[in-house]
Amino acid sequence: MTIKIREKDGIAILDIGGNINIDASDLVESVGWVLNNKSTDILCNFEDVNLVDYVGISLIAVIYKNVLNHEGIIKFFNVPSHISKLFSIVGLNRVLECYASEEAAIEALKEDKKTSRTLNEHLRRRFKRIPFNTTIDYRQKFSADDNFYEGRVINLSAEGIFVTANQIFPTGDVLLVKINLFPKEEVLECDAKVVWIADEEIQPQDFPGMGLEFFNLSSEKQERIVQFVEKHLTHSAQDSS
């Protein structure tokens, strides 16, 4: 088996020739080297591959998993029909993306990266905490005591809130909370789990306080919170520009 490595637009392209079988361990080593030294975006050119046996199938699965573990992208192009048929028989066609040409594979990889950046940006915004000062009423959800306590929300994200209050519950407790979050005096009522407690020595300004993670939210309430956070982030960005 032969492997030639070249680069195009920041993408590592492996031109592979010969047989991918028990003697093809160089394929795994070459992909590992590329991941560590060149790029996590990889295309494999199978135009000159003559044969892939069942050991070769395992090797291809290994390099595929290795690239994913490095949060990279791997695609294949110019795959001969008899090898494509083998991929279908063993089920690899469900995970490997194969293209008719180098140009098509490059275009698809670039599109994947664009989509990935958009998704990552969305996730960063979801977990971004914004300062937010409002009131909260809360009580233990699974308790005979139905009295609500009062506190203040200091910040929130789409995942949860930080609350300062005199009454603090242990981590793991599920609380029923009512947050004055939306306009027109609209109150968000939902469950939240205590996930951490403020340390008096490390966070004296936030003590006593507790971090709450929204718990078992309906999709409607989750979307409303996400929209609220993203709207606040957009306004903050406009104000700072």
Strands (E), the chain: 2-8, 11-20, 41-52, 73-77, 98-99, 130-140, 149-156, 160-164, 174-182, 186-197, 209-215
Q: Is residue 53 part of a domain?
A: yes
Same domain, 134 and 204: yes
Same domain, 228 and 171: yes
Query: How do residues 86-125 score in pLDDT, each as one tens digit?
Result: 998 888 888 899 999 999 999 999 988 876 665 555 555 5
Q: For 176, phi and psi rounded to 5 degrees?
A: -95, 120
**What six digits make up the tokens of 41?**
């975006």
**What domain range is 19 assigned to?**
2-100
**pLDDT band at residue 178 under the 50/70/90 scheme:** very high
Q: How many CA atoms lie within 13 A of 228 on its CB side?
A: 22
Q: What is the Cα–Cα distance from 214 to 161, expressed in whole angstroms?
A: 8
Same domain, 67 and 138: no
Q: What is the DSSP string of 143-209?
A: SS----EEEEEEEE-SSEEEEE-S----TT-EEEEEEEEETTTEEEEEEEEEEEE--TTT-GGG-SE
Question: What is the tally of structural domains in the chain?
Answer: 2
Specify whether the CB–CB gap between 97 and 124 falls below 8 A: no
Closest of 94, 32, 82 to residue 53, by C-alpha: 82
Same domain, 236 and 138: yes
Q: Is residue 111 part of a domain?
A: no
Same domain, 141 and 216: yes
pLDDT of residue 220: 83
Q: Is residue 122 part of a domain?
A: no
Same domain, 135 and 231: yes
Same domain, 154 and 82: no
Query: How do residues 205-235 score in pLDDT, each as one tens digit?
Result: 888 999 999 888 888 888 888 878 877 765 5
Of residues 237 and 188, the one with the higher pLDDT is 188
Q: Is residue 94 part of a domain?
A: yes
**What six digits make up the tokens of 31?**
């992909």
Specify whether the CB–CB gap between 109 and 124 falls below 8 A: no
> If residue 54 lies in a helix (H) or strand (E), which one and from where to where?
helix 54-69
Average pLDDT over residues 176-199: 83
Q: Is residue 125 part of a domain?
A: no
Same domain, 60 and 145: no
Q: Is residue 110 part of a domain?
A: no
Q: Is residue 124 part of a domain?
A: no
Which CATH number fits the domain that encloses residue 146?
2.40.10.220
Same domain, 15 and 92: yes
The percentage of residues in the chain with a pLDDT greater than 70, rounded to a whole number, is 89
Same domain, 92 and 163: no
Same domain, 63 and 154: no
Which CATH number fits the domain that encloses residue 75?
3.30.750.24
Which residues are within 8 A (CB) of 53 and not within 5 positions of it... i.e. 6 or more apart? Answer: 19, 20, 21, 22
Same domain, 26 and 77: yes
Q: pTM to 2 decimals?
A: 0.52
Specify whether the CB–CB gap between 192 and 175 falls below 8 A: yes
**pLDDT band at residue 126 under the 50/70/90 scheme:** low
Residue where a domain terminates, one of 80, 100, 120:
100
Q: Is residue 118 part of a domain?
A: no
